């Protein structure tokens, strides 16, 4: 039975009473209600009768007692806070924080143009945070088992992520689960009945979700799905589990995109993906399909999205965001097609290797660029931002947005303290020292004319 407006329910572990204010929405497993209690407004997911099983109740209690993964990565999970009950013991739900649906969007709302489309920078951030959070969950010994776009909400402007419906999270390779996700996100070996959900099958689902985010299409929806007039369960098993073929597999074109208007958007958006992102998708949906040990790990996704975000530059003519290729060589703007001037970059030498950040107005330098961050921090804090000079047209600098001064050394040998709020000019050869890490501003590569 659904909850009634005005009904009183009980948060079992805290012993507090909650007052049902209104229904917020309905999902595949239950309804979500706005409730008011001692902690103010929160939300309750209330299970439909067929989902309110003893196993689900135990799973919720386990998650409430365990808590989410630590730090920023864990805070993105809308984790069960308490078991919620009524007098009838066969019914229950769980308490969780309320989501601001004005700020956070579902992918379907982006597709339907209800919320703004995230730019490349936000898309990198969404993807980075997703990988970062699932990495933390997997490191805590849990698997999610139902990764899909239906469980993801994100801020299309900032790229901040929330992961919902965490009640299917379980101990990797141990606990059983009544929801195994939807077939389009399931790893092929689950569909074939050869494996149970695990962190390894989560990696496949994560790759499908990331592909949906970037390409707005399913990686196996090509000629094979197109030709199935009857899209029933056997057809889905064939396409997702028994003979999955990546639509952009250059070695096997059997499932390429048909020449139909439905597929134009996928072709177009695949073209926007930088080549190193395309390469990872290719591995995830070719080698990774047949050999789970070859799947792209959360850490690999995390590093990739951090790296490609550092290669975004704004077109000087139309302001569209563009990815520089790994080589740093200039390409042409995807929107207005002018040849992009190569930008200066900031090279950071760290014990783990050198990274290069393309510099244009609006580029952000984050904590993770200069230091190894602890497990409970994703390093997303902005420590510097490229800003235009207030009076010299065309000149820019990196503004110190931290509370501590930086040291700068200029090519002529002079030095300066860069106080918080001040900016260092983008003068090639200038070095900036932040927390003992040296960052060097490097001139754009010169174009060699043969």
Partner 1 sequence: MSGTGASLAVQAGVDELTGFHRMRVHTVPPHILRSEFKADFPRRITRRWRDYVQADAATHEIARPESDPYIRYGSTLISALIVADTILIGQIGDGDIVLVRPDGTIESPIPPETRLVGKETHSLSSRDAHLLWRTATLDRENGGVLIAATDGVSDSFDSTAGGEFFTFVKSLVDRVKDFGIESVAGSMAGWLDRYSELASGDDMTIVFVSINPDESIPPSPIHEPEPDEKAPGLTECW
Q: Which is nearer to partner 1, 265 or 443 (CB)?
A: 265
Check residue 102 for interaction with partner 1 (CB under 8 A): no
Q: What is d(CA 201, CA 179) in angstroms, rounded to the nearest whole number?
A: 14
CB of 28 to partner 1, least distance (A): 4
Cβ–Cβ < 8 Å for 25, 70:
no
Rule CB under 8 A: choose which of 24, 34, 39, 48 binds partner 1. 48
Rule CB under 8 A: choose which of 102, 193, 250, 260 binds partner 1. 260
Q: Which is nearer to partner 1, 139 or 179 (CB)?
A: 179
Alpha helical stretches, state H, 165-263: 188-191, 199-215, 223-227, 233-237
Rule CB under 8 A: choose which of 50, 88, 251, 412 binds partner 1. 50
Q: Which is nearer to partner 1, 225 or 298 (CB)?
A: 225
∠239-245-246 over CA atoms, to 5°?
Answer: 120
C-alpha of 429 from chain center? 35
Check residue 409 for interaction with partner 1 (CB under 8 A): no
∠141-211-259 over CA atoms, to 5°?
Answer: 155
C-alpha of 304 from chain center? 12
Residues that contact partner 1, how many (by CB under 8 A): 33
Q: Which is nearer to partner 1, 184 or 202 (CB)?
A: 184
Q: Which is nearer to partner 1, 15 or 193 (CB)?
A: 193
CB of 267 to partner 1, least distance (A): 12
CB of 434 to partner 1, least distance (A): 41
Q: Edge-to-edge strands of the sheet including 382-388?
A: 364-366, 382-388, 396-400, 423-425
CB of 6 to partner 1, least distance (A): 12
Cβ–Cβ < 8 Å for 201, 292:
yes
CB of 191 to partner 1, least distance (A): 13
CB of 131 to partner 1, least distance (A): 23
Dihedral over Cα of 221, 226, 230, 235: its sign = negative
Rule CB under 8 A: choose which of 9, 11, 29, 322 binds partner 1. 29
Region binding partner 1 by CB under 8 A among candidate stretches 47-55, 314-322, 369-377, 411-419: 47-55
371-403: b (≥16 Cβ within 10 Å) or e: bebeeeebbbeebbbbeeeeeeeeebbbbbbbe
Site for partner 1 in 167-206 (CB under 8 A): 179, 182-184
Rule CB under 8 A: choose which of 26, 55, 100, 325 binds partner 1. 26
Q: What is d(CA 301, CA 419) in angstroms, rounded to the nearest whole number?
A: 35
Rule CB under 8 A: choose which of 51, 66, 158, 373 binds partner 1. 51
Check residue 100 for interaction with partner 1 (CB under 8 A): no
Q: What is the dihedral of CA 346, 365, 353, 211, to 10 degrees?
A: -110
Site for partner 1 in 214-243 (CB under 8 A): 216, 221, 230-233
Q: What is d(CA 273, CA 316) in angstroms, rounded to the nearest whole number?
A: 20
The per-residue DSSP string of 353-404 comes to EEEEEE--TT-EEEHHHHSPPPTT-----EEEEEEE-SSSTT-EEEEE-SSS
Rule CB under 8 A: choose which of 265, 392, 417, 443 binds partner 1. 265
Q: Which is nearer to partner 1, 70 or 216 (CB)?
A: 216
Binding pattern to partner 1, positions 60-99, x when CB under 8 A? ----------------------------------------
**Helix axis angle, 199-215 relative to 298-309, nearest 10°?**
30
Rule CB under 8 A: choose which of 15, 54, 113, 374 binds partner 1. 113
Q: What is d(CA 31, CA 434) in angstroms, rounded to the nearest whole number?
A: 49
Check residue 405 for interaction with partner 1 (CB under 8 A): no
Q: Which is nearer to partner 1, 28 or 174 (CB)?
A: 28
Rule CB under 8 A: choose which of 112, 251, 351, 390 binds partner 1. 112
CB of 231 to partner 1, least distance (A): 6
Residues in the chain: 450
Residues engaged in binding partner 1 (CB under 8 A): 2, 5, 23, 26-29, 31, 48, 50-51, 108, 111-114, 148, 150, 179, 182-184, 216, 221, 230-233, 260-262, 264-265
């Amino acid at each position: 039975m659904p909850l009634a407006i005005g009904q009183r329910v009980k948060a079992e572990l805290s012993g507090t009473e909650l007052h049902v204010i209104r229904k917020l929405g309905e999902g595949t497993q239950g309804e979500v209600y706005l409730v008011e209690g001692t902690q103010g407004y929160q939300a309750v997911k209330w299970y439909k009768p067929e989902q309110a099983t003893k196993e689900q109740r135990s799973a919720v209690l386990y998650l409430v007692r365990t808590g989410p993964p630590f730090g920023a990565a864990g805070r993105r999970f809308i984790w069960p806070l308490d078991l919620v009950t009524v007098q009838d013991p066969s019914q229950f739900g769980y308490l969780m924080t309320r989501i601001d649906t004005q700020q956070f969007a579902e992918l379907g709302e982006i597709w339907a143009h209800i919320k703004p489309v995230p730019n490349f920078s936000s898309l990198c951030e969404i993807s980075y945070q997703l990988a970062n959070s699932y990495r933390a969950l997997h490191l805590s010994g849990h698997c999610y088992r139902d990764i899909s776009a239906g469980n993801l909400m994100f801020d299309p402007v900032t790229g901040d992520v929330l992961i919902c419906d965490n009640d299917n999270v379980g101990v990797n390779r141990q606990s059983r689960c009544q929801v195994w996700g939807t077939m389009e996100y399931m790893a092929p070996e689950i569909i074939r009945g050869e494996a149970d959900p695990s962190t390894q099958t989560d990696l496949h689902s994560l790759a499908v979700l990331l592909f949906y985010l970037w390409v707005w299409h399913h990686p196996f929806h090509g000629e094979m799905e197109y030709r199935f007039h009857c899209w029933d369960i056997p057809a889905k098993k064939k396409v997702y589990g028994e003979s999955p073929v990546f639509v952009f597999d250059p070695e096997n074109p059997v499932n390429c995109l048909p020449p139909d208007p439905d597929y134009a958007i996928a072709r177009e958006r695949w073209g926007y993906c930088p080549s190193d992102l395309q390469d990872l998708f290719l591995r995830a949906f070719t080698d990774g399909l047949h050999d789970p040990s070859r799947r792209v790990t959360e850490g690999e996704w995390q590093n990739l999205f951090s790296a490609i975000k550092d290669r975004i530059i704004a077109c000087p003519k139309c302001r569209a965001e563009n990815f520089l290729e790994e080589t740093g060589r200039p390409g042409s703007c995807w929107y207005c097609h002018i040849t992009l001037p190569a930008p200066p970059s900031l090279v950071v030498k760290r014990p783990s290797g050198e990274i290069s950040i393309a510099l244009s107005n609006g580029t952000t330098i984050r904590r993770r660029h200069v230091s190894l961050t602890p497990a409970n921090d994703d390093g997303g804090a902005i420590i510097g931002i490229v800003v235009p000079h207030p009076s010299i047209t065309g000149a820019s600098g990196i503004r110190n947005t931290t509370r501590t001064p930086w040291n700068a050394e200029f090519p002529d040998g002079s030095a300066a303290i860069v106080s918080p709020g001040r900016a260092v000019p983008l003068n090639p050869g200038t070095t900036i020292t932040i927390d003992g890490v040296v960052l060097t501003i490097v001139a754009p590569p010169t174009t060699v004319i043969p």
